[in-house]
Amino acid sequence: MHNKMNLPDFRDVDGAYERLKDRVVRTPLLRADALDAAVGRPVFVKAECLQKTGSFKYRGASNRVLQLTDAQRKTGVVAFSSGNHAQGMAAAAAEAKVPVVIIMPKDAPAVKIEGVRDCGAQIVLYDRYHESREEIGARMAAERNAVLVSSYDDPMIIAGQGSAGIEAAQQLQEFGVVAEALITNAGGGGLTAGLALAWEELCPIAKIYTAEPDDFDDHKRSFAAGERQSNASLAGSACDALLTPEPGHLTFTINKTRVCAGLSASDEEAFAAMRFAFRHLKIVLEPGGAIALACALQKRVPGNGPLCVFATGGNVEPALFAKVLGAA
């Protein structure tokens, strides 16, 4: 990290990859004839839903926890998240025997709250409509002298997420494929930033796109405007993993010059993508983990060359998944 804003660069991503390679799952890069036929181009799906804790977030969390000082390891970490970052942080902290407090919205999916609890983390629930998780987090971190870890606006989190991009680049090479484009789901933009830094170095010709729910397309609008735009609402989509108020400060600084454009899809299109992934790829995706695949299936990603799609998470409520599958 070699500049005023403390932005990570490829060396940080590569360092994270080396640090994490014996800890994370090298998730598969999946393909299916039915998928290529449906999208009209070769498609490769990076199945981060099969990562530890069910999403890519474990990567950034592990990279962050592994770089705590001895003093910080004693006082521990505080994080706020609707679920996937929470589970990643809880698991990474438990493995490192570091105390952790996770601040989660009361209406987070029960499966995510249980996942955090299973890791032995302390959970503090808040009302996302009337309380600020940032204020609660800052207060708790101050009380405990703990490190407050953002789910996306942290150089070490970004670098850790980027390790998935190095893996995907290697796997495409193993297939003998040069990707024309990459599309990933975007909440705060941490994964997008990590992937952009990795692919700028390893797959520089590929165009990068973000995917978001239609009414929560802050990245799409921010890229079009050239500055960060906010979402009007904080809830109202099944894609709970992607409902951040606006792109991160660090992440947008990285992404605005490296991402081609933002794309979006509806919840119904995400549900169709979940059904498709289950049927043809044999993976379970949560709605927020399926939006990029939805954009691909709707043929919204420009071009006809090989496309790499990030399937970012699979922590879906069983009842919702059953309902989505039953609606086929």
Closest CA to 313 of 209, 124, 171, 184: 184
Handedness of CA 20, 296, 153, 111 (dihedral sign): negative
Contacts by 26-34 with C-beta closer than 8 Å and gap 24+? Answer: 26/167, 27/51, 27/164, 27/167, 28/171, 29/168, 29/171, 29/172, 29/175, 29/308, 30/281, 30/283, 31/175, 32/280, 32/281, 34/280
Q: How far is CA 146 from CA 66, 87, 122, in A?
A: 15, 18, 13
Domains, the chain, ordered by start: 10-56+155-326 (3.40.50.1100), 58-149 (3.40.50.1100)
Tell me the pTM: 0.95
CA dist 262 and 222 (Å) reads 8
Q: Over its length of 328 residues, how does the chain's per-residue pLDDT go in tens digits?
A: 545 678 999 999 999 999 999 999 999 999 999 999 999 999 999 999 999 999 999 999 999 999 999 999 999 999 988 789 999 999 999 999 999 999 998 988 888 899 899 999 999 999 988 998 889 999 999 999 999 999 999 999 999 999 999 999 999 999 999 999 999 999 999 999 999 999 999 999 999 999 999 999 999 999 999 999 998 887 888 888 888 889 999 999 999 999 999 999 999 999 999 999 999 999 999 999 999 999 999 999 999 999 999 999 999 999 999 999 998 6
Q: Are 145 and 75 in contact (CB under 8 A)?
A: yes
